Structure 1
């Protein structure tokens, strides 16, 4: 147990390299980063993705607890939990024992965004697909497409690392992504319905390729 704690703290220090020490993190921030540590370690150590972790000193009313941006060639994983009483509302209906699993899936989702940014294909659709919309409608579709891709990365990650928990994660994501005024541009059921079970992700393919194969299929239904 002591060895595991030391490894976790060391990984948090490595991941939160922009902070002076892990002691600066709140309990909520530590819990979320610990839950997502395997994803972040994979992204930074194996994929060499340029990821920085930023902790907002004070969340704004419109901030989501976890988000990803891109600046100066680097991905910015932003935690907006301080002063945000609703930071963990998204987990309200999740049993306590499963919450780390859902947080891990959310972090994998954000890494999907980072991958798209780094590859230079953000808001780019594959050859042969047309935008089919203009103005605000086009902007909404662009966001939905990126969210759909990132959701599939989260599911592909879950199938690779926690296949026995796939049904729980996929069911929770479908619940969160149900079409509603709150979901808006984050309604991704066109893609989630393509992966009802882990069998949708054939073994042997890289994580992002697994997601991309299903994502391209979903593009046929989002115009």
Structure 2
């Protein structure tokens, strides 16, 4: 019931009048991520807007998050996107919703960092060893944010769908293993800290669970 009601709210927030204006693929993605989005808005109280692009542009990723004027902007670029589900090609159809839910949770991790004013910032007490500058610093900072967001996704899966944790974690490892060793999305430093859901402190909110492991990973992220 919550998921169906929240989907209606998503339609309004995206500026679409009815589900008839959404494609089947867009509806499937929004339904898969509805619980995460409800949590983000109602529990975390994040300033989150959702946009469904009427037509994907060249090089658009299917799901992305930005930040503008104090609000997170979650953008779905599925319509007319030939690469909309490339990351899911190896996933059985019955399991794709689990991966999409994890992807949405990943983006909410980004939103939380933005909203807290922590984007590209280290926790108190951390110092760079060694310091970096220019493009190297930008790459490192982005990789760290991706590591945090991946941990939020895994913490969410463990809290809400623990029976699927191993499957989602294995898929995420496969996705990240394909990234260049020094790439902005090479997050294995953090993924290795959560081989099972037992790595998370489940009596804490999801973002705090992720933060604890993220701090551990920073110690090894030179």
> For this structure pair, what is the TM-score category when the shorter chain's length is used for normalisation?
over 0.9
Gaps (5+ residues) in structure 1? none
User: Which residues of 2 match residues 144-223 of structure 1 at below 5 A?
Assistant: 144-181=143-180, 184-223=183-222
Mapped partners of 1:81, 1:218: distance in 2: 33
Which residue among 12, 15, 24 is the counterpart of 2:10? Answer: 15
Gaps (5+ residues) in structure 2? none
Which residue among 81, 98, 111 is the counterpart of 1:101? Answer: 98
Which residue among 80, 86, 99 is the counterpart of 2:83? Answer: 86
- After superposition, give the CA deviation of every residue in 1:61-114 in whole Å (9 maximum; x if it has no partner): 211100001111111100011111110011000011110000000000000001
| Structure 2 contact 61–77 (Cα < 8 Å) conserved | yes
Deviates more, 1:52-61 or 1:193-202: 52-61
Q: Using the TM superposition, give the Cα deviation of residue 57 of structure 1 relative to its aligned residue in structure 2, in angstroms.
A: 2.1
TM-score by length of 2: 0.93
- Number of corresponding residues: 218
Q: Using the TM superposition, give the Cα deviation of residue 198 of structure 1 relative to its aligned residue in structure 2, in angstroms.
A: 0.3
Q: Secondary structure at the match of 2:95?
A: helix
- After superposition, give the CA deviation of every residue in 1:91-142 in whole Å (9 maximum; x if it has no partner): 0000111100000000000000010011010110112323421111100011
TM-score by length of 1: 0.93
Mapped partners of 1:182, 1:130: distance in 2: 23
| Structure 1 contact 144–187 (Cα < 8 Å) conserved | yes
Q: Using the TM superposition, give the Cα deviation of residue 182 of structure 1 relative to its aligned residue in structure 2, in angstroms.
A: 9.9
Deviates more, 1:188-197 or 1:132-141: 132-141
Q: Using a 3 Å threshold, how does the CA distance of structure 1 residues 173 and 183 change in structure 2: closer, same or farther? A: farther
Structural RMSD (CA): 1.6
Q: Secondary structure at the match of 1:77?
A: strand
- After superposition, give the CA deviation of every residue in 1:26-77 in whole Å (9 maximum; x if it has no partner): 1111100000011011111222211111112221221110000111111110
Mapped partners of 1:25, 1:15: distance in 2: 11
Which residue among 108, 113, 116 is the counterpart of 2:113? Answer: 116
Mapped partners of 2:212, 2:139: distance in 1: 22
Mapped partners of 2:166, 2:32: distance in 1: 19
Mapped partners of 2:58, 2:174: distance in 1: 23
Q: Using the TM superposition, give the Cα deviation of residue 10 of structure 1 relative to its aligned residue in structure 2, in angstroms.
A: 2.9
| Structure 1 contact 53–78 (Cα < 8 Å) conserved | yes
Q: Using the TM superposition, give the Cα deviation of residue 22 of structure 1 relative to its aligned residue in structure 2, in angstroms.
A: 2.6
The equivalent of 1:75 in structure 2 is: 72
Mapped partners of 1:103, 1:33: distance in 2: 9
